Amino acid sequence: MGEIVIKRDERHRILGLAARGLREEHAAMTSARHFLEAAVVTMTEYLHLHPVYTIGDIVDLTVDRSDPHLDRENDAIMETLLVGLRLLEKAYPDELAVQEAKVEIQV
């Protein structure tokens, strides 16, 4: 079973996500990987940002929030990604779980 944890900050913005189990070749996992890749490509090619995206046993995506003028665009991409992942979770409840967690930023 795949599990995705969405990381949000105190302003409820998505900062990134961590996923495990996405290497399995089930429909939900393959679709989730495609959704993640689409979000990364959009941030990179359309917004010219540099999200950190690593693939391994744990897939990790950290949103590039370096340009505050692009927060709305980043939010739109990430919230759309989350909606897609939630739809996958609903369609494949035995294959995928999506959770959210608040991340405390330490200065």
Q: CA-CA distance, 71 to 13, in Å (whole number)?
A: 9
Position 23 confidence tier, pLDDT thresholds 50, 70, 90 = confident
36-85 confidence digits (pLDDT tens): 999 999 999 999 999 999 988 899 999 999 999 999 999 999 999 999 99
So what's the pLDDT on residue 50? 95
Position of tokens 């995506």? 61
In this structure, are residues 52 and 62 in contact, taking their beta carbons and an 8 Å threshold?
yes
CATH number of the 2-102 domain: 3.30.70.1490
User: Is the pLDDT assigned to residue 104 strictly greater than 80?
Assistant: no
Q: CA-CA distance, 42 to 84, in Å (whole number)?
A: 15
Supply the DSSP symbol for 15.
E
